[in-house]
Structure 1
Amino acid sequence: MKRELKKFESTMWLMIKLVLYILLMGTFMLIMARENPTLIILSRTMGITFSTFCIVGLLFLSIYGKFDVGRRKSKPIIYSLALAVLFTDIVTYIQLMIMNTITPSIYAFRLDSIGSLAISFVVQLIIIIIFAYGGNALFFAIHKPESCCIVTSSQESLDNIVRGILKYKKQYKIDYIMDYRDKNLLDTVSKADTVFIHDVPLKYRGEIVRYCYKNKINIYFNPEIEDIVEMSAKYYLLDDVSVLNANVKAWTMEQRVMKKLLDMSLAIILGILTSPIWIVSAIAIKAYDGGHIFFKQKRATLNGRVFEVYKFRTMKENVENRSVTDDDDRITKPGKILRKIRMDELPQLINILKGDMSFVGPRPEMLENVEAYEKELPEFRYRLRVKAGLTGYAQIAGKYNTSPKDKLIMDMMYIEQFNILRDIQLIFQTAIVLLKSDSTEAFKTNETRKYIFKKAESEE
């Protein structure tokens, strides 16, 4: 049975995706049709609403991610699809309300059928949950976990990559752990379906990658700075000689102007929209202990310039200045709520208006952390080639305990592949952070330590 399914698997998943997307659109159209009957009869309203839902839906699916079961866990798929559908529903709903405004006057515009819109989204959410869990269950019923070989250089590096792999036990099964200097490395690699290469010098990594490519073995490896530069390079022909050109100069004037306009307009709009949160937060903080409403701390931004970042104060005053831990007794009651909903960062809109920060960019690190990270990883200073940001790829995908090197790689990916559309995409993706639980969890040491790194006897 599994063999038969695998023969037609790509077609099967295509059909499942089509059914899912048709159900999501059909749910919106049918429920909204209770008060807008022209949605289910051949009409201009039906055609335009259908087209809007499809186009906007594809746009937000490209921002948040598609129905990629087998690659992601069910919850991230649910979060992504739910946000994509929510924004699609809202945009399509506004378009429908405009269509329903017969009188050519702005005062005739009405937001009706809000109850139907809410019911539609709830039903769509149920459909998404069923398809996400059901889709992953079907995928892993067909596919057994891939046999994996980890090639690395130390126990610390092994712990780091194992911590990530163990999040996906249904996808991967760790069968082999090898030192990249082991003389029997390639023989062991040949037994695996997938190879994870982590913290291996480029010279040796290249040999392993070529061997895996030759033998059709799936490869994962952690990128280095050289890889980031190569990914952003363009292919050129000098006569008949192939070269890659990486333009690592500063952003163009047009890019800087567009980014500045985006920063200023968004900061003003969000400042106005979130003003009730500012007022409630200020009252709660002041009423709790009578202390200062804002917390200021020196951080580093473009070219290492030091500035004071603003946040709502979430800790008691005059306490030790160090990174936050779980159940930190320095955090106040209002502070716990603000941190949980991530609203303590709102005052950084002031920093954006002042020009200290951008809306999207590397997280502004404490000066103590920057100094400590640069001692261990001098390249960490490359993050300061652009302004610090309120949000960014590292803030969305990373965690509090993400290693300095992984933070650097995420930030360098953003810097070297920057464009305004990417900024807009990351701003929308920031909504996912509000849905995720606090990302400070750590894997149990005894779980990762089941996997022991043994140095090769033939180490050079």
Structure 2
Amino acid sequence: MNNTRKLETSLVFLLKAILNLILFFVLYGIYAKSNWQLWNLSRTSGITIAAYVVMHYMFSTIYGHYDIGKRKSKPIVLSLFLNQVFTDVISVIVLSIMNTNQMKNQSFKLEQPYLLLPIIAIQFVTILIFVYGGNHLYFKIYQPEDCIIITSSQQSLNEIVRGVLKYKLQYKVNKVADYRDANLKQYILEHDTIFIYDVPVQDRTKILEYCYQNMKNVYFNPDMHDVIEKSAKHFILDDVSVYCNYSKGLTLEQRFIKRAMDIVISVIALILTSPIMLVVSIMIKLDDHGSLIFKQNRATRDGKIFSVYKFRTMRENVENYSVVEDDERVTRVGKFLRKYRLDEIPQFFNVLKGDMSVVGPRPEMLANVFNYTSVLPEFEYRLRVKAGITGHAQIAGKYNTSPKDKLILDLTYIEEYSFWLDIKLLFQTLIVLFKKDSTEAFHRGEELVFEEYQPPESVNPPVEGTE
């Protein structure tokens, strides 16, 4: 491995620190020109700075950090920009509250809101320079990681390669191997980064131990038991360490808080989006003069069947199945609505009725639930909570995300549920509007083949974790 990798953390930290200082002083310096107290040690400056730091940290946990070298530039720019917008607005509100006094403003008044637009514009340009420039510098210094994919079949190889090949600057796949290959240990030693995908848990554990022993970077796809272990709590019984997982679903208090939040958010959302719904209704009518709302039976908590409401995006009287690429059933207006998820606005009525929650697993078509469950019985565990408009799978996944990956994302949400997690996912939903591939449909049977998968000619016993 390149010795310069040892300085990777220091380089990223230095760029991140400089960027954050510039972003702060753009906001603080411009507002300080007309708020002299911000330059002095005062209660106003102290609380304003504290609010900025707390908000910046909080929104960093929601949207992500300045992680150049790990993500592509555009997602990092979007994450930092959304973080900065919310941080700036809340900081200005706090400053306005502090300025509501006998010496400044007799009543609350938003402090020079017209300054926010140029401030955010300057910050956006700064973020662009540091992200694109930072990634350019990073990949000038560091070469892509030398990778090997360890898997179990050609189909599994196709699935993992689809994701890895989107990060060609980060990873270079130089070898593909079957987990039963007799030479697997040697292959692992020859590469820096190991991708383990769709390997039986027992064998995967031994490969992980061997990689850990030899200090290799490892990526592996989670399984059902990984989600359970991740959400388990650590207990010490006398001097014995154990992990405990409570599989009881949401408590009564959690359900009450979640329902109250659903009602408040759906009412506000319907009021704010009413002009949008009016425009969308007119667009649909002008397009093909058909019905506005599409109803379809979906499954929610405990398998209860309900009718989900959506703006119609397909032609009427056509066969109903999951959307595929270049689907001729989708109308011109429907393509636009699906791209920006505007077709899902009527689902807030489902939330008000109690059939759905604002945050939760995506309500799947009944046919999909049956088909997925027949192959993956654990898929029914998603029905332990109400279906939701947004959630882990809706934000991180796509329409064509595999059933198993949807299950893992949804189970992660269910097992790690908290009020704060719902808030985070609500804010993260904004990212979906900017993701071009979030509505990527199922392909018409094409397969991505990176390298012909070769089953091992000879098979040794599974890799052991220690020599």
Structure 2-normalised TM-score?
0.91
SS at match of 1:338: helix
Aligned residue in 2 for 1:24? 23
Aligned residue in 2 for 1:156? 155
Q: How far 1:358 moved relative to its partner? A: 0.8
Q: How far apart are the structure 1 equivalents of 2:332 and 2:106? A: 44
- 2:53 corresponds to which letter in structure 1? C
- 1:136 corresponds to which letter in structure 2? N
Q: How far apart are the structure 2 equivalents of 1:150 and 1:122? A: 43
Q: How far apart are the structure 2 equivalents of 1:184 and 1:241? A: 39
In structure 2, relative to structure 1, the CA distance for the partners of 1:447 and 1:128 (3 Å cut) is farther
Aligned residue in 2 for 1:456? 456
Aligned residue in 2 for 1:189? 188
Q: How far 1:99 moved relative to its partner? A: 3.3
In structure 2, relative to structure 1, the CA distance for the partners of 1:173 and 1:285 (3 Å cut) is same
In structure 2, relative to structure 1, the CA distance for the partners of 1:42 and 1:313 (3 Å cut) is same
Q: Deviations over 1:147-173 (max 9, x none)?
A: 111111100000111111111111111
Q: How many residues align?
A: 459
Query: Do residues 147 (structure 1) and 131 (structure 2) align?
Result: no
Q: How far apart are the structure 1 equivalents of 2:349 and 2:396? A: 25
Query: Is the deviation greater in 90-99 or in 63-72?
Result: 90-99
In structure 2, relative to structure 1, the CA distance for the partners of 1:8 and 1:229 (3 Å cut) is closer
In structure 2, relative to structure 1, the CA distance for the partners of 1:289 and 1:441 (3 Å cut) is closer
SS at match of 1:219: strand
Aligned residue in 2 for 1:74? 73
The within-5 A match list for 1:153-302 is 153-302=152-301
Aligned residue in 2 for 1:137? 136
SS at match of 2:242: strand
Q: Is the 8 A contact 1:29 1:40 kept in 2?
A: no
Q: How far apart are the structure 2 equivalents of 1:392 and 1:424? A: 11
Q: Deviations over 1:314-358 (max 9, x none)?
A: 222222212223443333333333222221111111111111111
Aligned residue in 1 for 2:378? 379
The within-5 A match list for 1:293-372 is 293-372=292-371
Q: Is the 8 A contact 2:262 2:358 kept in 1?
A: yes
In structure 2, relative to structure 1, the CA distance for the partners of 1:4 and 1:191 (3 Å cut) is closer
Q: Is the 8 A contact 1:32 1:120 kept in 2?
A: no
Gaps of 5+ in 1: none
Query: Do residues 63 (structure 1) and 62 (structure 2) align?
Result: yes
Q: How far apart are the structure 2 equivalents of 1:136 and 1:291? A: 49
Q: How far 1:4 moved relative to its partner? A: 8.5
Q: Is the 8 A contact 1:361 1:411 kept in 2?
A: yes
Q: How far apart are the structure 2 equivalents of 1:418 and 1:145? A: 36
Q: How far 1:411 moved relative to its partner? A: 0.7
Q: How far apart are the structure 1 equivalents of 2:444 and 2:330? A: 25
Q: How far 1:208 moved relative to its partner? A: 0.7
Q: How far apart are the structure 2 equivalents of 1:190 and 1:247? A: 39
Query: Do residues 410 (structure 1) and 403 (structure 2) align?
Result: no
How big is the alpha-carbon RMSD for the aligned residues of Structure 1 and Structure 2?
Answer: 2.6
Q: How far 1:142 moved relative to its partner? A: 2.3
Q: Deviations over 1:260-299 (max 9, x none)?
A: 1111111112122222212222233234333222111111
- 2:217 corresponds to which letter in structure 1? N
Q: How far apart are the structure 1 equivalents of 2:446 and 2:249? A: 45
SS at match of 1:435: coil
Q: How far 1:176 moved relative to its partner? A: 1.5
- 2:169 corresponds to which letter in structure 1? K
Gaps of 5+ in 2: 461-467
Q: How far apart are the structure 1 equivalents of 2:40 and 2:2? A: 43
Query: Is the deviation greater in 76-85 or in 286-295?
Result: 286-295
Query: Is the deviation greater in 10-19 or in 155-164?
Result: 10-19
Q: Is the 8 A contact 1:32 1:117 kept in 2?
A: no
In structure 2, relative to structure 1, the CA distance for the partners of 1:446 and 1:389 (3 Å cut) is closer
Q: How far apart are the structure 2 equivalents of 1:438 and 1:150? A: 24
SS at match of 2:433: helix
Aligned residue in 2 for 1:119? 118
- 1:456 corresponds to which letter in structure 2? P
Query: Do residues 14 (structure 1) and 13 (structure 2) align?
Result: yes
In structure 2, relative to structure 1, the CA distance for the partners of 1:275 and 1:442 (3 Å cut) is closer
Larger RCO, structure (CA 8 Å, separation 6 or more)? 2
Aligned residue in 1 for 2:463? none
Q: How far 1:459 moved relative to its partner? A: 5.1
In structure 2, relative to structure 1, the CA distance for the partners of 1:243 and 1:429 (3 Å cut) is same
In structure 2, relative to structure 1, the CA distance for the partners of 1:332 and 1:8 (3 Å cut) is closer
Q: Is the 8 A contact 1:315 1:331 kept in 2?
A: yes
- 1:179 corresponds to which letter in structure 2? D
- 1:68 corresponds to which letter in structure 2? D
Query: Is the deviation greater in 2-11 or in 28-37?
Result: 2-11
Structure 1-normalised TM-score?
0.93
Q: Deviations over 1:344-403 (max 9, x none)?
A: 111111111111111111100111111111122121111111111100011000112211
- 1:11 corresponds to which letter in structure 2? S
Q: Is the 8 A contact 1:196 1:219 kept in 2?
A: yes
SS at match of 1:67: coil
Q: How far 1:207 moved relative to its partner? A: 1.2
Q: How far apart are the structure 2 equivalents of 1:56 and 1:257? A: 27
Q: How far apart are the structure 1 equivalents of 2:443 and 2:332? A: 27
- 1:453 corresponds to which letter in structure 2? Y
- 1:268 corresponds to which letter in structure 2? V
Q: How far 1:221 moved relative to its partner? A: 1.0
Q: How far 1:183 moved relative to its partner? A: 1.4
Q: How far apart are the structure 2 equivalents of 1:295 and 1:149? A: 46
Q: How far apart are the structure 2 equivalents of 1:443 and 1:321? A: 16
In structure 2, relative to structure 1, the CA distance for the partners of 1:31 and 1:345 (3 Å cut) is same
